[in-house]
Amino acid sequence: MAARVYTTVESASITRSSAKTWRKNYSLNGHHHGIKPIKQPSGRLLWPADEVDRLVSGEATRHTETAAQHA
């Protein structure tokens, strides 16, 4: 079974932010609040739904947890 994913527009809508912000953060940092997308051959970004849902619920993302362990 394939993992659930959201498009950039869906992710932005769920988090009540702008899709432009998600794309800019990915462009500058390679992630948005620690969430790394799956880049399709077409260039489209698909975001792991479980991590976006964790961001909305206030839980730490995997990237944030890893950074805290190394601090």
The model carries a pTM of: 0.80
**How many other CB atoms are found less than 10 A from the CB of residue 62?**
14
| CA separation for the pair 24, 17 (Å, rounded) | 12
Q: What is the pLDDT of residues 8-43, one digit of tens each?
A: 999 999 999 999 999 999 999 999 999 999 999 999
Are the C-beta atoms of 19 and 8 separated by less than 8 Å?
yes
Domains of the chain, residue spans: 5-70
Q: How many CA atoms lie within 13 A of 42 on its CB side?
A: 3
Helix (H, G, I), strand (E, B) or coil at 8: helix
H runs (alpha helix) in 4-60: 8-14, 19-29, 49-57
5-70: which CATH number, 1.10.1660, 3.30.70, 1.10.3430, 1.10.3470?
A: 1.10.1660
